[in-house]
Structure 1
Amino acid sequence: MQMHDRLLVVEDDPKLREELVALLGNNGYQPCALEAFDDVVGQVLAAGADLVLLDLNLPGVDGQYVCREVRRESDVPIIVVTSRDGQMDELLSMSFGADDFVAKPYNAPVLLARIARLLERAYGSASRSAVLERGGVRLDCDRCVAEHGGRSVELTKNELRILSLLMRNAGKVVSRQRIQEELWQTDEFVDDNTLTVNVSHLRQTLASIGARDFVQTRRRLGYLVL
């Protein structure tokens, strides 16, 4: 199944651009960024990205113009990420075709959750690999089933979201806040205690197929799978 993880960053501030590219790369995406701004619209269209993160304050051109012109030629999802946080800026951006509007300084987990939600809405389940494998565990996201040692078990929606997030970031600690943001895509209210209960249930489910201790805790940091 094709993945839709190519993200284009259109940000003229080198430091902010580097930070955003690093954030996306560390969370399983394939980011690229514009470094010249003489033909932003043409470069965005030529990039063939699956999602665009667009600043409004660009040298020589306004991001809202870029948004409008890109939208005339493409349905690529666009998230405006800008320090211009006025209601009129948000209204104009959305009217010119932006799919979401995030004000700087942004909360990284919230931005990642919005990206994931927009990709899922735009591309459905194809926005993520349907099958993930790590440490002897095979996760079939389409069937919502985990397999290990020839045994299989069905997962709940929340178990699937947690396990797929951890497996997509295998070897890295995923913060509790990041996991909560992932679960916010459901209709349930997710607080710290709810997350603890969900992780406990996931561990019990995995233990039932012999994958005991697959999800590990890093105290005061979060969880990971190796």
Structure 2
Amino acid sequence: MGAPLSVPSALHEHTQEAGPWDILVVESDEANRESLVTDLSRSGQEVRAVGSGQEALDRATQADLILLGMRLTDLDGLHVCRSIRAMTDTPVIVIGTAASELDTVLALRAGGDDYLARPYRPRELMARIGAVMRRTQAGRQAPPLLERGRLSIDVGKREVRYRGRSPKLTRKEFQLLLLLATNAGKVLSRDEIVREVWGNSWSQRTVDTHVSNLRSKLGDRGLITTVRGVGFMLAHA
């Protein structure tokens, strides 16, 4: 076996995986909203629930995590997700009715941290919440400033500078770049990247898309090297 993968702050089981967390439920359907509140309360979480997208935007910065239903009566769920991501780093788990790759991809592109399709079991819901919160907490505990040559990553401010550029990265693009920079010079497989950044919730094609986006935003296609048949590596910056 190879050397263990370095992840900022050793983001694994020692984090507080069961909460309690302050969770905002956003769901227009009353039955679904009450079911979520009941399941979360039974697991010991602090829960607030709203029935509209506008209420979600008003309270997004006050929660540890947001469970966002896609079918809202006032605003499009994906629009709400994008708006939340524009104003805060609060993690969002999107809850929908279709377990399709398209729905998953749309939720990801809108800024969601995970996608959960109905029907699901309460145990799966709590496992997804725990995984998202574990990754979020680990990222916040990473070293405040990581420098790799001309690449500088300010973890606290979520800012990146490279060759005079200060690109605006999505949450997942930032987490992916931080993972690669933490393991600079080491080839990371797509499976490792998916596990550490997405928690096995996304396809390997998602990794390729995000790497391509990072190369474009950083203005250097050679910074992240593709190792054919294996994965990706941060080259010397």
Instruction: Name the TM-score, length of structure 1 as normaliser.
Output: 0.50
Match of 2:78 in 1: 64
Kindly provide the amino acid, as one letter, of the partner of residue 57 in structure 2. G
1:93 equivalent to 2:144? Answer no
Match of 2:88 in 1: 74
1:12 equivalent to 2:22? Answer no
C-alpha contact 2:22 2:47 (8 A) present in aligned 1? yes
| 1:21-40 pair list within 5 angstroms | 21-35=37-51, 37=52, 39-40=54-55
CA distance in 1, matches of 2:105, 2:58: 25
Q: 1:44 to 1:84 in 2, by over 3 A?
A: farther
C-alpha contact 2:26 2:53 (8 A) present in aligned 1? no
Question: Could you say what secondary structure the match of 1:105 adopts?
Answer: coil
| 1:185-204 pair list within 5 angstroms | none
| 1:1-226 pair list within 5 angstroms | 5-35=21-51, 37=52, 39-46=54-61, 48-124=62-138
C-alpha contact 1:4 1:50 (8 A) present in aligned 2? no
Q: CA deviation at 1:45?
A: 2.5
Q: 1:94 to 1:29 in 2, by over 3 A?
A: same
C-alpha contact 2:25 2:33 (8 A) present in aligned 1? yes
When the two chains are superposed, the root-mean-square deviation of aligned CA atoms in Å is: 2.4
Match of 1:145 in 2: none
Q: Summarize deviations over 1:105-163 as a string: whole Å, max 9, x none.
A: 1121111111011112212499xxxxxxxxxxxxxxxxxxxxxxxxxxxxxxxxxxxxx
Q: Unpaired runs of 5+ in structure 2?
A: 1-15, 141-198, 200-237
Q: CA deviation at 1:13?
A: 1.0
CA distance in 2, matches of 1:4, 1:72: 26
Q: CA deviation at 1:43?
A: 2.2
Instruction: Name the TM-score, length of structure 2 as normaliser.
Output: 0.48
Q: 1:24 to 1:63 in 2, by over 3 A?
A: same
> Which ranges of 4 or more aligned residues in structure 1 deviate by more than 4 Å?
none
C-alpha contact 1:40 1:66 (8 A) present in aligned 2? no
Q: 1:41 to 1:9 in 2, by over 3 A?
A: closer
Q: CA deviation at 1:60?
A: 2.3
Identity of aligned residues (%): 34
CA distance in 1, matches of 2:58, 2:22: 14
CA distance in 2, matches of 1:99, 1:53: 10
Kindly provide the amino acid, as one letter, of the partner of residue 16 in structure 1. N
Question: Could you say what secondary structure the match of 2:60 adopts?
Answer: helix
Q: 1:4 to 1:125 in 2, by over 3 A?
A: farther
Q: CA deviation at 1:11?
A: 0.8
Aligned length: 124
